[in-house]
Amino acid sequence: MRNFNENTITDAVLDRIKNTSDPRLKQIFNSLVRHMHDFVRDVRLTDAEWAFAIDFLTRTGQKCDGNRQEFILLSDTLGVSMLVDAINHGSGGSTETTVLGPFYVQNPPEYPLGADIHGGMKGEPLYAEGRVLSLDGKPVANAIVDVWHSDQEGYYDVQQIDKVGGLSGRARFRTDKDGKYRFWSIKPAAYPIPYDGPVGEMLTVQKRHPWRPAHVHFMIEAPGFEKLATHVFVDGDQYLDSDAVFGVKDTLIGSFVKHDAGSGPDGRAIDTSYWTMTYVFTLAPAPS
Ligand code: BEZ
Ligand code: FE
């Protein structure tokens, strides 16, 4: 076959890939080719625009390294990450999910319940506590609860590791027999996603800001349950309705309450004002 034109080339490509052996892969390639070709026809893509797109994607790849994943940022800022999340994690009564983000560190240091994890990061003290439950309201004991968050200026420890002197505002806990977790840290602030690369350029031309509302990340795992990756957002944050990565859900907005200096919820003496936050997580059963 030869002499393809704009109306015949799509079927020619679909025919050429028809022997893809894995049926799921075949379905994905088929749909990708049809949608990409339709897109190009729809916008009447010019030679210059095609070259720009290739350069943009090339620079997106070149921006990636062990600490920076510009393709995930692109997916996040175009709403693709949250679309995949929405398709794969129906609520069904369990805690809603949201983006993982680029600042998760595998196997963070484990601390005893009640520990202060702020390390070298600065901010107003925060006491966070709550429970991990199954869908039928039973405590999930010994669940692994990973926590990470930004400081009062919106930076994660991994973005300023020398300044804060090691992993900070980040820890792993295990729930007690009642499914409870608790820890001290600091109240996180809103922050811009990294915008010094191609994704930042895109946000600029789209007249969008790069900010995410303040939040604490949680990742919770327990045998027999689906792993939960989510955030608890700080109520009242100015970016809750314009999160750069579309990650906010009403059910994930926590109530952060300010208290005067005195005695903390766990009896600890505290000489500045501080915040408390309580959040109960519900895990879905693992898919059988
Ligand atoms: C985060 O919450 O850490 C995050 C999520 C998506 C993009 C950038 C940061
Ligand atoms: Fe974050």
Atom of ligand 1 nearest to the CA of 81: 6
Q: Give 240 Cα–ligand 2 centroid separation in angstroms.
A: 13
pLDDT of residue 203: 98
For ligand 1, atom 7, the nearest C-alpha belongs to 101
pLDDT of residue 277: 98
The tens digit of pLDDT for each residue in 45-60 reads: 999 999 999 999 999 9
pLDDT of residue 287: 85
DSSP 125-137: EEEEEEEEEETTS
Cβ–Cβ under 8 Å, residues 119 and 164: yes
Q: How far is CA 221 from the centre of its chain?
A: 16
Q: Give 183 Cα–ligand 1 centroid separation in angstroms.
A: 22
Start-to-end C-alpha separation, the chain: 47
Q: Structure tokens of 241?
A: 């309705």
| Nearest ligand for residue 194 CA | 1
| Nearest ligand for residue 169 CA | 2
pLDDT of residue 72: 95
Domains of the chain: 1-45 (no CATH), 92-193+203-283 (2.60.130.10)
- The pTM is what? 0.94
Ranges of the chain whose pLDDT falls below 70: 91
Q: Is the CB of 211 under 6 A from ligand 1?
A: no
* Distance (Å, whole) CA 9 – CA 18: 14
CB neighbourhood size of 149 (10 A): 29
| Nearest ligand for residue 102 CA | 1
pLDDT of residue 91: 66
Q: Give 59 Cα–ligand 2 centroid separation in angstroms.
A: 24
User: What's the chain's length in residues?
Assistant: 288
Q: Is the CB of 187 under 6 A from ligand 1?
A: no
**Burial state string for 108-146 with b = 16 or more CB within 10 A and e = fewer than 16:** beebeeeeebbbbbebebbbbbbbbbbeeeebbeebbbb
For ligand 1, atom 1, the nearest C-alpha belongs to 101
Strands 180-186 and 228-234: unpaired
Q: Is the CB of 193 under 6 A from ligand 1?
A: yes
Q: Which residue has the tokens 């990340």?
A: 217
Best of 64, 71, 76 for a ligand 1 pocket test (most atoms within 8 Å of beta carbon): 76
